[in-house]
Amino acid sequence: MGAGRTEVARALVGADPVESGTVEMRGKQLRITTPAEAAKHRIGYLSEDRKHLGLLLEQDVNANVGLSSIREKFQSWGFVRDRAMRARSREVVESLRIRTPSIDQTAKFLSGGNQQKVVIAKWLVKDCDVLIFDEPTRGIDVGAKEEIYRLLNDLAAQGKSIIMISSELPEVLRMSHRIVVMSEGRVTGQLEAAEATQESVMHLATLRPETEAVR
């Protein structure tokens, strides 16, 4: 799209260097230069490109689900506590209703929606406070979309902060409490859910950013 949404998200978690600006969480300024540091602050990023940047396609569901939290939760003295990790994997697979014959299934054999849920499961197990979902419903079927919406709502209800990046207007309007619109790399406006309409969002999305307008 070129609006710069993914770039902002990647900079937030330290996947790309920050050119300017600061990141604050709970009133404290954070210095994040790698996704590992972001994870330490319990910020997780789910890429829009789940095949290349989200999943270990050749690994099984269990390895994918445990990946982010293995060091924090499923080890003692460097040894993997396999039983605990598998138990937790089975638990999330069940609660997210990921359709897979078992947690030993290789991720590449799952459907798009279920793959997406595996990526979400990874961050659920990590127990993040801030989750950045980049186009979470891209390329998955309607049923799975609904489930992911429900999941996002559940997470929000549990007090997690969710930044959902999306270019599907109905989805944005339906899911958000607050909408930040970007165009050509700049934030062009912020709307509360109550005042947001298709028209108001589209208006901001098609604004030329101020830097351009000045010239």
| Min dist. Cβ of residue 63 to another protein (A) | 7
166 binds another protein (CB under 8 A): no
Q: How far apart are CA 124 and CA 44, in angstroms?
A: 9
| Min dist. Cβ of residue 20 to another protein (A) | 23
Say if CB 95 and CB 57 are below 8 A apart. Answer: no
Of 11, 55, 131, 181, the one binding another protein by CB under 8 A: 55
Binding to another protein (CB under 8 A) within 12-31 occurs at 13, 15
57 binds another protein (CB under 8 A): yes
Residue 66 CA from chain centroid, whole number: 16
Binding to another protein (CB under 8 A) within 109-138 occurs at 122, 126
78 binds another protein (CB under 8 A): yes
25-28 long-range CB contacts below 8 Å, 24 or more apart? Answer: 25/130
Say if CB 39 and CB 15 are below 8 A apart. Answer: no
144 binds another protein (CB under 8 A): no
Q: How far apart are CA 4 and CA 18, in angstroms?
A: 13
Q: Is 204 helix (H, G, I), strand (E, B) or coil?
A: helix
| Min dist. Cβ of residue 178 to another protein (A) | 25
Of 18, 25, 35, 186, the one binding another protein by CB under 8 A: 35
> Of 60, 58, 84, 63, nearest to 73 (Cα)?
84
Q: How far apart are CA 25 and CA 28, in angstroms?
A: 5
Tokens of 179: 């909408």
Of 29, 79, 142, 170, the one binding another protein by CB under 8 A: 79
6 binds another protein (CB under 8 A): no
List of residues contacting another protein (CB under 8 A): 13, 15, 34-36, 38-40, 44-45, 47, 52-60, 63, 66-68, 70-71, 75, 78-80, 82, 86, 90, 101-102, 104, 122, 126
